[in-house]
Amino acid sequence: MMPRVLVVIVALCLAAGVAAAQDIAGDTAALLAFRDAVGRRLPWPSSASSSSSPCGWRGVRCDAAAARVVALQLPGASLVGTVPTGTVGNLTALRTLSLRSNALSGEIPADIGNCGELRAVYLHDNRLSGEIPEGIFSLRLLQRLDLSGNRVGGSVSPEFSKLRRLATLYLQNNSFNGTLPGDLDLPNIQLFNVSYNEKLTGAVPDSLAGRIPASAFSGTGLCGGPLTPCTNPSPPSPLPSPPISPPPAVSQHSKSSKLSGGAIAGIAVGGGAALLVALAVIVLLCFKRRRRKDYNDADENASPPVWVTVARTTTEKQSQSETRRSTAASGGGGKKLVFVGGEPEAPYDLETLLHASAEVVGKGWLGTTYRATLDAGVAVAVKRLRDAPIPEREFRDRVAALASLRHVSLAPIRAFFYSRGEKLLVSDFVGAASLSSLLHTNRARLSFTSRARVALAAARGVAFIHRAAASAVSCHGNIKSSNVVVNASHDGAFLTDYGLVQLIAAAGVPLKRVTGYRAPELTEPTREADVYSFGVLMLEMLTGRAPANAVAGMDGVDLPNWVRSVVEEEWTAEVFDAAIADEMGHAGEEMVRMLRLAVECTDQRPERRPAMDDVAARIERIVESAVRNRNADVDDFESVSDS
């Protein structure tokens, strides 16, 4: 027996010498060498030989044919020491490498450049030192690189510009020195951070100055861009000095050009109907101009809000009061704002709305949402719907049906404006923090219990829509984390954009919804499809991962399939978001119950999915029991600290 195994091993080693790491055996050998060097405590089979398949090992994922290792994900796995060459660097089919939150030291392996398929490299929160190896810059497919929280030094190489797909570059909390390359060109960058590298000096490169907020450069010696202007002469650099960014006047100019003085003057011209037309045109112009700034949903909260105040003009008082009275009246000649379901306490008209300070809070396929602040300080959310040829009567009836849905978890619709080229929906402004931005962009600290409460509020809202079964709206139609607004004071969440997909679909516009949330059978919005999307939303909250195509700049995953691919015993280590994993101690059972529910909701067969009422009831029990456990913990803690 024994000799035969040896023969196999020797044969395989010889084979590996010939075609090293180009097959699964090479990958296995590389993983075993990796384990011997840094991962003695990994729960991988101790007697594994390079002939056994590593595909089921913790943290190792293979492609569908089990022919190559495509992901090595060992966050917080007590890895210690230096990763040698010939280990990770031999996993040449690797797409995802996550070794974050360990105690890795020494340099990043120099042969990482062999892994030409890498999309995501997460090495943050270790003790890595040295410089970034040259090989990194040959990873042409790389989208995310997070080296933050290490001791990596040297300069930030101009070769980063070779990584044309890079969307995330996190280098904060390291020891980088020198200047940032003046001609740094990262066309797809979304998230960039070099803060807390004390020895970085010089100017913020031009290409980053307009797109990246100041906090990404704090704790450094950098200047210009969003920071204080550089004083001349610019700090001397020991490196061959790249051209320093242009004087700050240039970037300031581009900012102040958002709404020119000419446009404001233009608003003050004209009266009556002409005034409204002019206003509409100018507001459209402003919206268009600002659109360039907010390049995606994911950035919603990453940059400080841009406030644009449109100048105030006067108009005849009686037309205002007329507008107020036009509740549900058909448009007639002049187009007016129509209140549905009763006027607000302090009524406003279209003109007031168009004059209000506006800020983009969300943007998607259905249109763009603005927060408009009215005179009394009251904020409303204005949704500018994408253009669709909906007849006015149908639009009015459908909006009236949507507005008749009143529930604590639904952001209430108050008014609409209809004209051929412009359709606005006005609802209460319920907050700017979407669940998507909290989970993916701001990485806000959201405990499991908070997440479960948000899920409960959202589930109740969806269940209400399903029960109400208003003729025009039998389901939400577009459940995703960017349509869930988290509001702490409300202790829960609001759903937005319910029924709007159907509204647009009524005009025959082909639907486009985020693939990661879309039920496999989906042809048109249904309750079962809502349950599927809701299941994906729960998976997103539990795993902290973005569904496919949900967040710009993030390589999302097919969450239902991914979670199903992990056996239940491994959920704790593999599936749950690291940010809530430490709550396993007191809420582990609830977390697993919630995950099981999410898996049920995302069943491929629509008829197997639970009804939304049932989902809400089950989440309610999960929340209750999580809160009970937490209170017990708090009591224990207090009794200990009191004594």
- The nearest distance, CB 285 to ligand NAG, in angstroms, is 29
Q: Which stretches within 176-247 are classed as H helix?
A: 206-209
Strand-strand pairing, 413-418 and 178-179: unpaired
Query: Which range in 181-189, 209-217, 527-535, 537-545 contacts ligand NAG by CB under 6 A?
Result: 209-217
**Min. distance of Cβ 596 from ligand NAG in angstroms?**
33
Stretch that binds ligand NAG, among 15-23, 41-49, 75-83, 137-145 (CB under 6 A): 15-23
The answer for residues whose C-beta is within 8 angstroms of residue 83's C-beta and 6 or more apart is 34, 37, 38, 99, 104, 106, 108, 109
Q: Which is nearer to ligand NAG, 235 or 270 (CB)?
A: 235
Q: Is 195 in the site for ligand NAG (CB under 6 A)?
A: yes
Least distance CB 90 / ligand NAG (angstroms): 4
Q: Is 116 in the site for ligand NAG (CB under 6 A)?
A: no
Choose which of 78, 188, 215, 561 interacts with ligand NAG (CB under 6 A): 215
* 169 lies in the binding site for ligand NAG (CB under 6 A): no
Q: Which helix (H) or strand (E) holds 415?
A: strand 413-418
Q: Which residue is nearest to ligand NAG (CB)?
A: 153
Residue 524 DSSP SS3: coil
Q: Which of 42, 44, 90, 299 binds ligand NAG (CB under 6 A)?
A: 90
Tell me: does residue 101 bind ligand NAG (CB under 6 A). Answer: no
- The region of 171-179, 388-396, 423-431, 475-483 touching ligand NAG under the rule CB under 6 A is 171-179
Question: Considering only CA atoms, which of 527, 483, 476 is closest in space to residue 503?
Answer: 476
Question: Rounded distance, CA 190 to CA 323, Å?
Answer: 43
* Helix ranges restricted to H, 475-604: 500-505, 527-543, 559-565, 571-574, 578-581, 584-601
Choose, by CB under 6 A, the member of 30, 171, 203, 580 that binds ligand NAG: 30
Q: What is the dihedral of CA 361, 365, 366, 367, to 10 degrees?
A: 40
Binding region for ligand NAG (CB under 6 A) out of 86-94, 100-108, 272-280, 462-470: 86-94
Contact 603, 609 (CB under 8 A): yes
Number of residues that bind ligand NAG (CB under 6 A): 26
Query: CA-to-CA distance for 403 and 416, rounded, in angstroms?
Result: 10
Nearer CB in complex with ligand NAG: 580/592? 580
Among 12, 24, 25, 29, binds ligand NAG (CB under 6 A): 29
- How far is 279 from 541, CA to CA, in rounded Å? 42
C-alpha distances out from residue 232 to 219, 407, 571, Å: 21, 59, 56
Q: Which region among 25-33, 226-234, 388-396, 551-559 touches ligand NAG (by CB under 6 A)? A: 25-33
Which of 54, 149, 248, 535 lies at the binding interface for ligand NAG (CB under 6 A)? 149
Structure tokens at 606: 């629509």
Contact residues for ligand NAG, defined by CB under 6 A: 16, 20-21, 29-30, 33, 86-87, 90, 131, 148-149, 153-154, 172-173, 177-178, 193, 195-196, 199, 213, 215-216, 238
